[in-house]
Amino acid sequence: MTDAVLALNTGSSSVKFSVARAFAPGAPLLWGAAERLGTDRAMITLHSHDDSRQEQSVPGATHADALQRLLAILQTDRPDLRIAGVGHRIVHGGHRFTAPEPVTPEVLAALEDIVPLAPLHQPHGIGAIRAAQDLFPDARHVACFDTAFHAGKPFEHDAYALPRRYYDEGIRRYGFHGLACQSICTALRAEGFPLDTARLAIAHLGNGCSVTAVENGRSKATSMGFSVLDGLTMGTRCGALDPGCLRADPDHRNRPPRCAR
C-alpha cells in the first residue's frame, strides 16, 4: 500500500482533484475534474500518469454528486493507494486563517461563520471537506486558503478609506487566487528565478480574474478586495463599479442615468 496525498479544488461550478505520492515530488498519479456542474453538460474527466483518459457525462450532477463519483473512481482505479492526507482549497479564510490549518470541528464552525463572505464558493468547499472526511476518516485533512497568500500586505493596500473600527471588525482587502499566485512563485523559485528580489505582476485570468503585485515573493497589492467581486471584469462579475452607478430608483432598470438623456 502506497501513501498518497489528495488535493481537492472545489469551485463555484467545478471540482478538480489531483493525487500524488506522499513525500515524493513529481508528476501526479491521477488527476481529473468535474466541470459545468448543475447543467445538462456536466462532465467528469479523469487522467492517469500513463496518458490514459476517461470521460463520463453526468447531466445535472451537483458538487456532492461529482465528489462522490470522483472519489469512487479513485478507489476503483488505484486501490493500492492509501490516502494519508487531503488538502482542501478554501476560498475565504477571513482575518483568522492566514496559513494552512488542520481541519477540526472548531475550524469548520469558523468557516461556516464566514460563508456570507464567499457564498458561491465557501459552502462547496466546506461540503467537500465533510464528504472527504467521511470517505477518508483516517487521513489528515488540511484547509488551504486563497486569502492566506495576501495576509500581511502593507496596511495601505489592505484597508479601505473607512473608520479604523471597520478594519478591526474584518472589513479589509483580503485578496483571492492566492494559492494560484503562490504556486507560480514556487515554480519560479524552482527554476532559479530571483524571486526574493523581484517585483512581479501575476494575472489570474479565467471565469474569475485578478491581478496581484508581488514583491520579494509576497503579495503587496491585489485587485480583488473584501469579496471576489472587485477588480477586473469577469465571467459573471462586473468587477470594480463606481458607487455612483447605483441608484435608489425602483425603475432604474428601465432608465438610463440622467446625464445620458
Note the pLDDT of residue 259: 45
Note the pLDDT of residue 250: 58
Note the pLDDT of residue 137: 92
Note the pLDDT of residue 102: 98
CA distance 200 to 184: 11
Contact (Cβ atoms closer than 8 angstroms) between residue 97 and residue 106: no
Note the pLDDT of residue 131: 86
- Find the angle CA(185)-CA(189)-CA(195) to the nearest 5 degrees: 75
* Residues known to be catalytic: 146
Note the pLDDT of residue 64: 82
CA distance 213 to 203: 9
What residue spans in the chain does CATH classification 3.30.420.40 cover?
1-145
Q: If 0-12 CB within 10 Å is exposed, 13-18 middle and 19+ buried, where does residue 83 land? A: buried
pTM of the model: 0.85
* Model pLDDT for residues 138-191, shown as the tens digit of each residue: 999 999 999 999 999 999 999 999 999 999 999 999 999 999 999 999 999 999
CB atoms within 10 A of CB 256: 8
* Fold topology of 1-145: Nucleotidyltransferase; domain 5 (3.30.420)
CB atoms within 10 A of CB 239: 14
Ordered per-residue pLDDT tens for the chain, 261 residues: 789 999 999 887 889 999 999 987 778 888 989 999 889 999 999 888 788 888 889 999 988 888 888 778 777 878 888 899 999 999 999 999 999 999 999 999 999 999 988 888 899 999 999 988 988 899 999 999 999 999 999 999 999 999 999 999 999 999 999 999 999 999 999 999 999 999 999 999 988 899 999 999 999 999 999 988 999 999 888 999 888 887 755 565 555 555 444
**Which of 194, 213, 195, 203 minimizes the C-alpha distance to 234?**
203
* Model pLDDT for residues 231-252, shown as the tens digit of each residue: 999 988 899 988 888 775 556 5
